[in-house]
Structures are given as structure tokens and as C-alpha cells.
Amino acid sequence: MNSYKKLLVVFCLFILGLSISSCSTLFPPPKPRPTVSVTPEKVELAFPAILKVPIVFTGTGWKPREMVVVEMVLPPGVEMKGVKPGEDVGIAYGEADESGNFKGEVPVTAKLNTLFRVGWTPLLTPDPKTLNPIPPGVYTIKASGADSGAVAITTIEFVKPEPKK
């Protein structure tokens, strides 16, 4: 009977080992959380110099080939034509590659419409007399995956231009 108990214990340990090893296939490791970052992190609100400064968003951990939309969260009191209070405003987008990495640059039109809230002439050219830059400060940036619904957050700081000498 003693050898029967030993055999039963060995069998139970074998079954337990099989169960534990199969759990790794039942519970795969978690997917990495998506990220977003911006370069540069601080941007001077100087016109027209800002039009030449690339503002680039990059990220990892997105679904392969997913469209990633980058929006700026407007703080209370910051109004923008065509954007309702409490809504975010899109400033860039990019498509994730096969590895889930994306890159998106803020186009000149978004810099004019969003950062400088410029008006447009009847000939569809920006009217420099209507420049109304957003207030300097730290703004929240939200990147959202169009397919996955995943969201990543970062910030960007807009600073007053250096006084002209």
C-alpha cells in the first residue's frame, strides 16, 4: 500500500505540473500598453518661425497597421472656431507599422488653425492680421487607436516667444 501512495503522489505531481505548464498558454503575457511622446517637448509660439519647426509624435505598442489620431485637449477657457467646449482638437495622425510603432507630424495647416487660430482670406490664404495664438502653457495630448480604442497620453508645453531685441 505504501508503494501505491507513492505512485499516487507522483501521478498527482505529474498532473499538477502539466496543469501549471498549460496555464502559460491559457494566460499569455499582457500586451504592451501603447505609448506616445512628442519632439520637441517645448515649442515657442513664434510666428512664422513655428512653421519651420517639426512637431513630431511617435509611439509604440499600437495595433499593427492601425491609424493613430493625435488630439490636443483644450483646457477650459481656450476657445477654437468649430470646436465645441469640452471637445479635443485633432492635430496629427499616423499609421502604425507592422511592429505597432507610429509617427505623425503636425502639418502647417494644424499649426495655423489650432496653435494660432488664424482666419483665412476669401482666396483661402491665412490672414496674418487675425493671428490669435493659444495661451502659453502645458497642454495634454491624447493619442487614440482607431481600431483598438487604446489611448496614450503625453504633454507638450507652448511658451511665449522671446522678446525681439
Q: Which helix (H) or strand (E) holds 5?
A: helix 2-26
- pLDDT band with cut points at 50, 70 and 90 for residue 5: low
pLDDT of amino acid 30 = 67
pLDDT in tens, 67-110: 999 999 999 999 998 899 889 999 999 999 999 999 999 999 99
Q: What domains can you pick out in the chain, each with its CATH number?
A: 37-159 (2.60.40.10)
CA dist 66 and 155 (Å) reads 22
Least confident stretch, 50-59, 103-112, 121-130, 149-158: 121-130
Rounded to two decimals, what is the model's pTM?
A: 0.80
pLDDT digits (tens, 9 = 90+) for 140-157: 999 999 999 999 999 999
**pLDDT value at position 35?**
97
Q: What confidence category does residue 29 fall into, taking pLDDT thresholds of 50, 70 and 90?
A: low
Rounded to whole angstroms, the Cα distance separating 100 from 60 reads 6
Which residues are within 8 A (CB) of 157 and not within 5 positions of it... i.e. 6 or more apart?
41, 42, 43, 136, 137, 138, 139
The mean of the pLDDT values for the chain is: 87
